[in-house]
């Protein structure tokens, strides 16, 4: 069996929060992308056969059909959910950047998890997030000073993991303050992707505009890698 992942595993994630392996018309990575409040684009790429093979290998070991949803976290770990057991397995590490080309009706544009708009310009902190929304959800706690996630280590058990337990209150406050600029003191869900870029909706709806929180440097204090 593949390695069970014991870190932050999304329990309820919006449709735009995960990648998919699609097999129809040839294996490809496919995602929905909200271009604006009126249009949702279906992006796809056939340029990542090693990633597709990685996901499908876990599906095979779990006696499931190939294809389906997967996630890539801030440690570039590929996480594949077991559809029956509601647990996640680590498929491996994937370091190749995922970028998607799409014809927006007037030109070909590149869309990715980088903070870059369709004209190739960098997105300022707190600017509208134009990139894909695939990422791992964390929660800014009510009050805006703690960050946490929850997961189930075994059936009928839910465990809360707080950032301050790992890095202390002062370091947690520095990161929370950045997220708080978007989420406010009421807190709520935000995401971090494999580029270590953080973004968040002001509300909790997947059709709500998302905003750029900022980049989390690799040497900044954060939750430890659960599967080093």
Q: Is position 7 within any domain?
A: no
Same domain, 94 and 17: yes
Per DSSP, 62 falls in state: T
Q: Is 124 helix (H, G, I), strand (E, B) or coil?
A: coil
Question: pLDDT at position 22, please?
Answer: 95
Same domain, 78 and 149: no
C-alpha 199/C-alpha 203 separation (Å) is 12
**pLDDT range class, residue 184, cuts 50, 70, 90:** very high
> What domain count does the chain have?
2
Q: Is position 116 within any domain?
A: no
Question: pLDDT at position 227, please?
Answer: 87
Q: Is position 226 within any domain?
A: no
Same domain, 93 and 147: no
For residue 180, what are its two tokens? 């708080």
pLDDT digits (tens, 9 = 90+) for 5-54: 989 988 765 666 799 999 998 999 999 988 887 888 999 999 999 999 99
Q: Is position 127 within any domain?
A: no
219 Cβ neighbours under 8 A, 6+ residues apart: none
Q: Is position 107 within any domain?
A: no
Same domain, 156 and 202: yes
pLDDT value at 154 more than 90: no
Question: pLDDT at position 207, please?
Answer: 67
For residue 98, what are its two tokens? 């995922």
Same domain, 21 and 68: yes
Listed residues 98, 127, 154: the one ending a domain = 98
Same domain, 22 and 94: yes
Same domain, 91 and 141: no
188-192 vs 136-140, strand pairing mode: antiparallel
Same domain, 148 and 200: yes
Half-sphere exposure in the Cβ direction for 46 (13 Å, CA): 5
The stretch 122-140 carries a mean pLDDT of 95
pTM of the model: 0.93
Listed residues 44, 77, 98: the one ending a domain = 98
* 155 vs 178, residue with greater confidence: 178
Q: Is position 113 within any domain?
A: no
Alpha-carbon dihedral sign for residues 172, 177, 182, 185: positive
Same domain, 145 and 198: yes
C-alpha 183/C-alpha 186 separation (Å) is 7
* 204 vs 179, residue with greater confidence: 179
Q: Is position 130 within any domain?
A: no
* 208 vs 191, residue with greater confidence: 191
Listed residues 80, 98, 116: the one ending a domain = 98
Q: Is position 79 within any domain?
A: yes
Which has the closest alpha carbon to 216: 182, 193, 187?
193
Domain membership of residue 144 as a residue range: 136-215
């Amino acid at each position: 069996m593949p390695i069970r992942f014991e870190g932050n595993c999304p329990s309820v994630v919006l449709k735009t929060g995960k990648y998919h392996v699609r097999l129809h018309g040839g294996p490809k990575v496919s995602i929905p992308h909200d271009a604006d409040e009126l249009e949702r684009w279906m992006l796809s790429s056939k340029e990542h056969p090693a990633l597709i093979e990685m996901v499908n290998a876990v599906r095979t070991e779990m006696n499931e059909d190939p294809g389906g949803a997967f996630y890539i976290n801030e440690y570039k770990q590929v996480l594949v959910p077991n559809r029956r057991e509601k647990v996640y397995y680590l498929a491996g590490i994937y370091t190749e950047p995922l970028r998607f080309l799409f014809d927006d009706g007037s030109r070909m544009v590149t869309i990715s998890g980088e903070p870059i708009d369709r004209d190739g310009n960098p997105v300022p902190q707190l600017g509208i997030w134009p990139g894909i929304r695939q990422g791992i959800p964390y929660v800014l706690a009510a009050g805006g000073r703690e960050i946490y996630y929850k997961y189930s280590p075994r059936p009928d058990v839910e465990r809360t993991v707080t950032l301050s337990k790992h890095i202390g209150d002062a370091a947690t406050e520095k990161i929370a303050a950045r997220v708080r600029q978007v989420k406010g003191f009421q807190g709520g869900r935000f995401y971090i992707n494999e580029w270590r870029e953080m973004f968040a909706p002001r509300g909790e709806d997947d059709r709500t505009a998302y905003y750029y929180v900022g980049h989390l440097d690799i040497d900044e204090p954060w939750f430890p890698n659960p599967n080093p």
